[in-house]
Amino acid sequence: MSTAPLSPAPVGTAPMAQTMTPASLREAMARFATGVIVLSVGGKSIHGMTANAFSSVSLDPPTVLCCVSHSAVMHQAITTERRFAVSVLGARQEGLARHFADKRRPLGAEQFSGLDWERGPCTGAPLLRGALAWLECELTEIHVSGDHSVFLGRVTASSKGTGRSGLLFFDGQFQRVDSESAV
């Protein structure tokens, strides 16, 4: 790893500003690597959804956030049940990420048929076995922002799996990172 100071970019190499459109924002944000989770809700609104707009917010009180489109089935599910769970996917779980991102999959309990999961003890939401970590959350706040809502949840339970390789989303594709080889 080089310790040489960074030199300024040559004149004329700065990006040209372009008109902001949903497509240009999507292209720019595709360059930001994110982890991949399956967000889930139990109860009468049982549902799962792949997401990457997820983050830790606070350690005290323990709080996370997830962003969900108003048009997504998950939006109504979280709003109705007022609790949700998160399964942080490992590198070998791309198939699960694709399954829960597929808008043609069955809805309700049937979308979990044949998958290895268990009900979370605090929320009743599906927790996917083999994930790197799990969180169960009680909904505390909803903030509307454009075509999405930001759901904040107080973490009521968390646990860590044994895997050490994560699933990422970068440049419109799933990627893998191994904690043993990460810089």
pLDDT confidence of residue 121: 97
Q: For the segment 40-93, what is each residue's pLDDT rounded down to a tens digit?
A: 999 999 999 999 999 999 999 999 999 999 999 999 999 999 999 999 999 999
pTM of the predicted model as reported, rounded to 2 decimal places: 0.85
Nearest to 142 by CA among 62, 66, 86, 61: 66
Whether the pLDDT of residue 137 is over 80: the answer is: yes
Query: Which range is least confidently modeled, 6-10, 130-134, 176-180?
Result: 6-10
Whether the pLDDT of residue 5 is over 70: the answer is: no
| Cα angle for residues 9, 175, 147 (degrees, 5° grid) | 80
Average pLDDT over residues 161-167: 93
**Domains along the sequence of the chain with CATH:** 22-178 (2.30.110.10)
109 or 26, greater pLDDT? 109
pLDDT band of 23, cuts 50, 70, 90 = confident
Contacts of 43 (CB under 8 A, 6+ apart): 80, 81, 124, 125
Token reading at 136: 């169960």
Sign of dihedral through CA atoms 153, 76, 168, 89? Answer: positive
For residue 145, the surrounding DSSP H or E stretch is strand 133-145
pLDDT confidence of residue 11: 57
